[in-house]
Amino acid sequence: MASFQAEITPQLLTLFETLFSVQLTDETTRIRDALSQLDAQLFKSYTKPHSARIAAAIETGIFSPDWAPEPAQGKSVAERDPSPYVFSILLDLVIVHTEVSTTSPPLTARILRSLFENTTTSLINTFNQLQSCPLSSLMQATLDVEFMAQTLASYTTEKASQVQTDIYQVLDGKTDNQARVRLQEELGSLRGVLKKLREGTRVEFGCFRRERGRNRGQTVAAG
């Protein structure tokens, strides 16, 4: 459909206008509108099931009783792993990347950007449902969001970056001043955890690093 819109249809319209010496201004507009609507429907039919699975995984993961465990004695509250739902979503997106890049490479970035936006939207919707956000939850949420954002940085968008900023505002509104202070104190440790995670998953999620020229989203742990 993308090729039909960008290449085939304009060539056919130009050929018709040349052969019959007519201008198809109104017809061209209607055809383009119809093709855009078809393209949007096809795009949605592919991305909607993936978005639904992402939203379900996020909600199940965050409301799991095992989410945001308390740190072991003697360990920093930042010394923790991303939640299992994070890896589940990222591995699903690796499969999507493989499917799309091997069948229709020009659509890879468009689809991954859309799914990343949907991921951030699902995250903020779920965090909005939390009654409160104590220190362990605040740290776990920050790690989960940052790790996904940094892993998918090549596919960030202005919308995704804004939602990520909004997520931290939502979390901040559900915590107390003591937890905020502790989070700031532990940011150095959190950066170290994220660095190790990026290095440890370099091969696993290497497909997401292909587009090195894209602007990376702003992240709290990196700032």
Q: Which residues, at least 6 apart from 112, have a Cβ–Cβ distance to it below 8 Å?
A: 93, 96, 97, 100, 152, 154, 155, 208
Which of these ranges, 136-140, 142-146, 154-158, 209-213, has the smallest mean pLDDT?
Answer: 209-213
Query: For residue 75, what pLDDT is reported?
Result: 81
CA 153 to chain centre: 8
Query: For residue 209, what pLDDT is reported?
Result: 83
Task: Tokens for 185, please give them.
Answer: 């104190």
Q: CA-to-CA distance for 96 and 222, rounded, in angstroms?
A: 27
Highest average pLDDT, of 5-9, 10-14, 147-151, comes from 147-151
Query: For residue 5, what pLDDT is reported?
Result: 85
Task: Tokens for 90, please give them.
Answer: 């990222």
pTM comes to: 0.86
**Helices vs. strands in the chain: H and E counts, helices first:** 8, 0
pLDDT reading at 102 higher than 80: yes
The model's pLDDT over 158-174, given as tens digits with 9 standing for 90+, comes to 999 999 999 999 999 99
Q: How many residues are there in the chain?
A: 223
The model's pLDDT over 24-65, given as tens digits with 9 standing for 90+, comes to 888 889 999 999 999 999 999 999 999 999 999 999 999 999
Query: For residue 73, what pLDDT is reported?
Result: 78
Query: For residue 157, what pLDDT is reported?
Result: 97
> CB–CB of 221/144 below 8 Å?
no
Q: CA-to-CA distance for 42 and 51, rounded, in angstroms?
A: 14
Domain ranges for the chain: 47-209
The model's pLDDT over 117-127, given as tens digits with 9 standing for 90+, comes to 999 999 999 99
Count of C-beta atoms within a 10 Å radius of residue 29? 10
**Domain 47-209 = CATH 3.30.1490:** no
Q: CA-to-CA distance for 178 and 163, rounded, in angstroms?
A: 25
The model's pLDDT over 187-216, given as tens digits with 9 standing for 90+, comes to 999 999 999 999 999 999 999 985 444 444
> CB–CB of 12/19 below 8 Å?
no
